[in-house]
Structure 1
Amino acid sequence: MKSARETFDVAVIGGGSAGLAAAVTAARQGARTLLIERHGYLGGMGTASLVHSFCGLYLLRDEPGAVLANPGFASEMAERMIAATGIGPVRMGRVDVLPQHPVEFVRIADELISAEPMIELRLHSEVTSISRESDWNIGISGRSGAQSLTARALVDASGDATAAAMLGLDSAMVDAPRLQRPAYVFGVHRPGGLLGDSERLETAGLITEGIREGCVPRDAMGLTFRSSGRDSEIFGTLDLSGGENYDPFDARCLTQLEILGRSIAAKTVAWLAGKSVIWNGSYVSQWPVRAGVRESRRWIGEYVLTGSDLLAGNRFEDEVALATWPMEFRETARGPKLRFPKENQPAGIPLRCLKPVGMDGLFVAGRCISADHEAQASIRVMGTCFATGEAAGRAAASFRHP
Structure 2
Amino acid sequence: MKVDVLVIGGGSAGLAAAVTASRAGMKTVMVERHGMAGGMGTASLVHTFCGLYFIDGDEARHANPGLPEEFADRMEMATGAGPVKMGRVWVLPQHPVEFARIADEMLRESGVQVLFHSDVISLEPGWRAKVACRGEIREIEAGAVIDASGDAVGAAMLGLPDDRVAADRLQRPAYVSGIQGVVGELEGLALSGRLVEGVRSGDLPKSSLGMHFRSSGRSGEVFGTLDLSGEETGGYDPTDPACLSALEESGRTVTNAVLGYLRKHQEGWGMAYVSHWPARAGVRESRRYRGEVILTGAEILAGERCKDEVALATWPLELRETNRGPKLRYPEGGKASGIPSGALRVAGVDGLYVAGRCISCDHEAQASIRVMGTCFATGQAVGRMVARTGAGFG
- State the TM-score, normalizing by the size of structure 2: 0.97
- Confirm or deny that 1:242 pairs with 2:235: no
Mapped partners of 1:144, 1:167: distance in 2? 22
Provide runs of 4+ in structure 1 moved above 3 Å.
Answer: none
Mapped partners of 2:212, 2:94: distance in 1? 17
Map Cα deviations across residues 248-273 of structure 1 (whole Å, 9 max, x no partner).
Answer: 01111111111111011001011001
- Confirm or deny that 1:16 pairs with 2:2: no
Map Cα deviations across residues 4-30 of structure 1 (whole Å, 9 max, x no partner).
Answer: xx1000000000000000000000000
- Confirm or deny that 1:208 pairs with 2:199: no
Mapped partners of 2:207, 2:77: distance in 1? 37
Alignment counterpart, residue 60 of structure 1, candidates 38, 48, 55? 55
Aligned ranges 1:27-46 → 2 under 5 Å? 27-46=22-41
Q: What's the offset of the Cα at 1:46?
A: 0.3
Q: What's the offset of the Cα at 1:205?
A: 1.7
Mapped partners of 1:16, 1:200: distance in 2? 30
**Conserved 8 A contact 1:193-1:231:** no
Mapped partners of 1:339, 1:191: distance in 2? 34
Alignment counterpart, residue 43 of structure 2, candidates 38, 41, 48? 48
Mapped partners of 2:104, 2:129: distance in 1? 24
3-state SS of 2:236 partner = coil
Q: What's the offset of the Cα at 1:206?
A: 1.3
Letter in structure 2 aligned against 1:164: A
Aligned ranges 1:2-401 → 2 under 5 Å? 6-61=1-56, 63-117=57-111, 119-133=112-126, 136-192=127-183, 194-195=185-186, 199-243=187-231, 245-400=235-390
3-state SS of 1:152 partner = strand
Letter in structure 2 aligned against 1:23: A
Mapped partners of 1:139, 1:96: distance in 2? 41
**Conserved 8 A contact 1:16-1:44:** yes
Mapped partners of 1:252, 1:139: distance in 2? 25
Q: What's the offset of the Cα at 1:278?
A: 2.2
- State the TM-score, normalizing by the size of structure 1: 0.95
Q: What's the offset of the Cα at 1:144?
A: 4.9
Mapped partners of 1:294, 1:159: distance in 2? 9
Which runs of 5 or more residues in structure 2 are unaligned?
Answer: none
**Conserved 8 A contact 1:154-1:361:** yes
Q: What's the offset of the Cα at 1:71?
A: 0.3
Q: What's the offset of the Cα at 1:342?
A: 0.4
Mapped partners of 2:266, 2:121: distance in 1? 50
The RMSD of aligned alpha carbons is 1.2
Mapped partners of 1:164, 1:341: distance in 2? 30
Q: What's the offset of the Cα at 1:194?
A: 4.2
Q: 1:156 to 1:93 in 2, by over 3 A?
A: same
Amino-acid identity (%): 57
Mapped partners of 2:347, 2:165: distance in 1? 20
Q: 1:275 to 1:383 in 2, by over 3 A?
A: same
Which runs of 5 or more residues in structure 1 are unaligned?
Answer: 1-5
Mapped partners of 2:124, 2:390: distance in 1? 18
Mapped partners of 2:184, 2:141: distance in 1? 49
Q: 1:194 to 1:286 in 2, by over 3 A?
A: farther
Mapped partners of 1:312, 1:163: distance in 2? 31
**Conserved 8 A contact 2:357-2:369:** yes
Mapped partners of 2:123, 2:160: distance in 1? 12
Mapped partners of 2:328, 2:364: distance in 1? 11
Mapped partners of 2:264, 2:107: distance in 1? 45
Mapped partners of 2:286, 2:184: distance in 1? 35
**Conserved 8 A contact 2:313-2:374:** yes
Paired position in structure 2 for 1:3? none
Map Cα deviations across residues 25-63 of structure 1 (whole Å, 9 max, x no partner).
Answer: 0000000000000001000000000000000000001x3
3-state SS of 1:130 partner = strand
Letter in structure 2 aligned against 1:22: A
Q: 1:11 to 1:189 in 2, by over 3 A?
A: same
Mapped partners of 1:194, 1:154: distance in 2? 47
3-state SS of 1:398 partner = helix
Map Cα deviations across residues 138-177 of structure 1 (whole Å, 9 max, x no partner).
Answer: 1000115101110001100000111111111111000100
Q: What's the offset of the Cα at 1:286?
A: 1.1
Mapped partners of 1:205, 1:29: distance in 2? 53
